[in-house]
Amino acid sequence: MSIHKQIKRITTHVLIAMKQRKEKISMLTAYDYSMARILDAAGIDILLVGDSASNVIAGHETTLPITLDHMIYHAQSVVRAVDRAFVVVDLPFGSYQGNSTLALASTIRIMKESGAHGVKLEGGIEVSDSISRILSAGVPVMGHLGLTPQSIYKFGTYSVRAKEKAEANQLLKDAKLLEELGCFSIILEKIPAVLAQKVANSVSVPVIGIGAGSMVDGQVLVTHDMMGITKDFQPRFLRRYLELFDEMKDATKRYINDVKTGDFPNNQEQY
Alpha helices by DSSP H, the chain: 3-6, 12-20, 33-42, 53-56, 68-81, 100-114, 128-136, 152-155, 165-181, 193-202, 223-226, 244-261
C-alpha 238/C-alpha 241 separation (Å) is: 10
Q: Closest approach of Cβ 52 to ligand KIV, in Å?
A: 3
- Per-residue DSSP letters for 40-73? HHHT-SEEEE-TTHHHHTT--SSSTT--HHHHHH
Residue 48 — φ and ψ, nearest 5°? -105, 120
- Of 210 and 229, which has the nearer Cβ to ligand KIV? 210
- Of 59 and 262, which has the nearer Cβ to ligand KIV? 59
- Of 52 and 77, which has the nearer Cβ to ligand KIV? 52
Q: Would you call 204 helix, strand, or coil by DSSP?
A: coil
**Is 113 an annotated catalytic residue?**
no
C-alpha 160/C-alpha 196 separation (Å) is: 12
Q: Closest approach of Cβ 225 to ligand KIV, in Å?
A: 9
Q: Which residues make up the interface to ligand KIV (CB under 6 A)?
A: 29, 48, 50-52, 90, 187, 189, 210, 220, 222
Q: Closest approach of Cβ 271 to ligand KIV, in Å?
A: 44
Q: Closest approach of Cβ 187 to ligand KIV, in Å?
A: 5
Residue number of the CB closest to ligand KIV reads 50
Residue 219 — φ and ψ, nearest 5°? -130, 145
- Of 26 and 29, which has the nearer Cβ to ligand KIV? 29
Q: Point out the catalytic residue in the list 189, 243, 247, 269.
A: 189
Q: Which are the catalytic amino acids?
A: 189
